[in-house]
Each structure stands twice: as C-alpha cells, then as structure tokens.
Structure 1
Amino acid sequence: MDNFPELHDLIGFFEVEPVIEDRDVPWFYSKLVFRTIREHNKIYFAIEPGHGKVVFIWESSNELIASLNLENVTALLLFTESGTEKLLAKFAPSTNQLDFELQLKPTIHIKWGNERAM
C-alpha cells in the first residue's frame, strides 16, 4: 500500500489493540486483525498492508450484515468528515472499484461500489 496510517492512529479508530499475526516481521508485512464491539455490533477488520488485502466482517446480534474480501487495496486513509472519523480504502485504478468507506461512530456505516463502464 502506498499510503497507510500509523499503527497508533488505527488503534485510535478501532479503539482496540490489533492482533499481529507474525511478530517476527515488521507489522506492515504481517496481518493486523482488529476486533471491535459497538453495542450489539461486532466488527472484524483484517489488514495485510504488504499484500494490499483487507477483510471486513460485520455482525449485528449474531446475524451477518456484511462480509467483504477487498484486494488490490493501494491505500488506507483516516479522515474526518463533518466531525465523523472514517477509514477509506482506495483501489488500483484498473479495478474500477470505488473507495470503500467505514465509519464506526456514532453508528456503523459502510459505503462501497464499482464504476459503471461507459
């Protein structure tokens, strides 16, 4: 990934410490797994920065809401819009994927799609 937040910024966004899969390599080349709970919602967010992969799973009251395997992620960015912190995943231009956007507070919200070929 070309752009990637600092680890402490990701910890601040998810409000949990990640599980780092392989501690024998720098964390950027390992797999970071964040598991966070917001009321009855469970979020699993795994990042493999060195491979451009993200896995997002959202369950609400033990029901699956969304399960996404994102590949060809070129950047992860944290930003604030109208006072709300969001995480943005950008994709390689050749994928025709729109940015994936995740918000955790005050409510969980995701936005993602693909571009229509003209």
Structure 2
Amino acid sequence: MVMEPIPSYEDLVWLFEAEPTYPNAVHERPADEPDGWRTPWPYTTVTFRTVRAGYGIELNIEPAHEQIRLRLRAAMDGQFLVDLELAGVQAVGIDRTHGHELLRVDFADDAPAATLWLRMKPDVFLHWSYDSMS
C-alpha cells in the first residue's frame, strides 16, 4: 500500500527549507542505471532535516511502505529527545494556517494512534495521542 494522499514532495521541501538526502544511495551505481537509488517519488526513501527554535528535526519518509521515522534532538548537544518509528501511516501533509507551519501525520480511522502534529514555526511543539486499549 502507499500513503493516500501521497505527501507533496514540494510541500515537504518548503516546510524543511531544504532538499532531502537519500539514505539508500549507492555511490558506486549511477542513479540512472537499473536498480539505481533515485527511485521516483513516492517509491523512494528520503530524509528531510532542519533546525528550528533550538531543535534538530529529522523526517525519514517511505510513502510506498506507509512508514516514517520522526526524530527531534536538542541542537546544542545533539541529544535525542524524541525518536518515533511509525508504521501504518495513512497520510502525511502540511498545514499552513494562522502563521504556523505544521507537519500532520494521519493514521487509519480504526488505528489506536490519533493524528500526530508537529508544529515547526513559530516554535516547535509535538502533539500526539495513542490509545493502547483500543
């Protein structure tokens, strides 16, 4: 399965203010050869990184496998504060309302995980709830 709707590559570049890196890059094999690492979006794995309000934020996203890894670290000492590996991600999107820049991660309606929100501007704030009893 693939995330539906597929997150917009351009929106993610806008949010992180940087092009992603490709963790599956094989330097010995050119990207245009068969089995090269630069598979078209969304059938590739990319990692976006940025620093906001004293926090390093990293999003590794695999839309074709419905997986993301979200990591937040203190920018000063590099210590990880949050490291989430999430499967069954239904959609990833960007919300630009009221002067805020938010990353939104949605799960299936019947999943115990609720929508995860990561506000990146004007400050960094993470909100997520999980009901292990459902």
TM-score above 0.5, yes or no: yes
TM-score (ref. length: structure 2) = 0.79
More strand by percentage: 1
User: Separation in 2 of the partners of 1:73 and 1:5?
Assistant: 11
Cα shift at 1:100: 0.8
Provide the secondary structure at the position in 2 that maps to 1:11.
Answer: helix
**AA at the equivalent of 1:87:** L
User: Separation in 2 of the partners of 1:70 and 1:78?
Assistant: 18
More helix by percentage: 1
Whether the 8 Å CA contact 2:101–2:122 is kept in 1: the answer is no
Cα shift at 1:5: 2.9
Cα shift at 1:7: 1.2
TM-score (ref. length: structure 1) = 0.88
107-116 or 55-64, which deviates more: 107-116
Cα shift at 1:87: 1.3
In the alignment, which residue of structure 1 is the partner of 2:29?
Answer: none
**AA at the equivalent of 1:99:** T
Give me the identity figure in percent: 29
* Backbone CA RMSD of aligned residues: 1.7
Is the counterpart of residue 17 in structure 1 residue 19 in structure 2?
yes
User: Separation in 2 of the partners of 1:34 and 1:116?
Assistant: 29
